[in-house]
Amino acid sequence: MQLLVIEDDDAIADLLLRGLTEEGHRVTRARDLAEARTELGIHEVDALIVDRGLPDGDGLQLVRELRQRKDTRPALILTARDALDDRVEGLYGGADDYIVKPFVIGELVARLAAVSRRAGTVQSGRIEVGDLVVDTEALRVWRGSDEIGLTAQEFRLLRYLAEHRGRVLPRTRILEAVWDLQDDPGSNVVDVYVSYLRAKVDKGRSEPLIHTVRGLGYVLEQRA
Ligand code: CA
């Protein structure tokens, strides 16, 4: 998995990076909330390991933000504050599990595997973003009660955006994931297909879900 470790303490971050890399994960690190938000916008991240005491705030705030955006990526909270109230607050904040420092890396790896499995089963074949429903098993799409007819390629693109909802996806990554192309053959195929999707999914709706992030790419999310 691609992991994001958000931890300001160098010694703990090094321990995590080493331990998780040895387990076969790819790991990037952010030192505070601001760096974490940037990383989430740029890199593919499958799960997060989040310290609570960060220089610019509480790591739990970031998890709350993600959950408000219906981002269900697993988040494991690290904290030195070994208090029951803290643990309860952590889980209410949308965190999937909680681990108290000092911890054993083996336990952290096991907990991470457990929350990722749970996240995987929760997703099943139905992804919801606002009133948009993408059924990846039946290959059908609705907004509210209206079913939307898509071509196979439009569906592949929407499914990719939906699976990565709330994340800004650069054109190059979309091209590689949906078209299996390393470079655009000069046809702006991603932009063309995003415009087809918008015409079917967003046009005439009060709340558009497909957004352009200038200079970066596209994101599917509810911005109510
Ligand atoms: Ca800290």
> Which backbone phi and psi does 64 adopt, to 5 degrees?
-60, -45
Do residues 113 and 153 both lie within one domain? Answer: no
Separation of alpha carbons 205 and 90, rounded Å: 36
Distance 45 CA to ligand 1 centre (A): 21
Distance 192 CA to ligand 1 centre (A): 45
Residue type, 140: R
Do residues 89 and 131 both lie within one domain? Answer: no
Distance 114 CA to ligand 1 centre (A): 24
Do residues 9 and 103 both lie within one domain? Answer: yes
Summarised one tens digit per residue, pLDDT across range 17-53 is 998 888 778 899 999 999 999 999 888 888 999 998 8
Do residues 178 and 157 both lie within one domain? Answer: yes
Do residues 76 and 155 both lie within one domain? Answer: no
CATH code of the domain covering residue 84: 3.40.50.2300
| End position of a domain, from candidates 66, 96, 119 | 119
Distance 30 CA to ligand 1 centre (A): 12
Summarised one tens digit per residue, pLDDT across range 133-152 is 998 878 899 999 999 999 98
Distance 61 CA to ligand 1 centre (A): 14
CATH code of the domain covering residue 141: 1.10.10.10
What's the number of domains the chain is made of? Answer: 2
Per-chain residues with Cβ under 5 A from ion ligand 1: 8, 51, 53
Pair of tokens at residue 52: 């609570």
Do residues 104 and 9 both lie within one domain? Answer: yes
Q: Which domain holds residue 31?
A: 2-119
Average pLDDT of the chain, as a whole number: 87
Distances (CA, A) of 115 to 27, 61, 92, 121: 17, 19, 15, 10
Contacts of 94 (CB under 8 A, 6+ apart): 63, 64, 66, 67, 75
| End position of a domain, from candidates 69, 99, 119 | 119
Looking at residue 193, what is its pLDDT? 96
Q: Which long-range contacts (CB under 8 A, 24 or more apart) does 170-173 make?
A: 170/216, 170/217, 171/217, 171/218, 173/44, 173/217
Let me know: does 98 contact 82? Beta carbons within 8 Å: no
Distance 204 CA to ligand 1 centre (A): 47
Distance 72 CA to ligand 1 centre (A): 24
Evaluate if residue 121 carries a pLDDT over 50. Answer: no
Q: What radius of gyration do the chain's Cα atoms show?
A: 19
Distance 87 CA to ligand 1 centre (A): 16
Separation of alpha carbons 71 and 208, rounded Å: 18
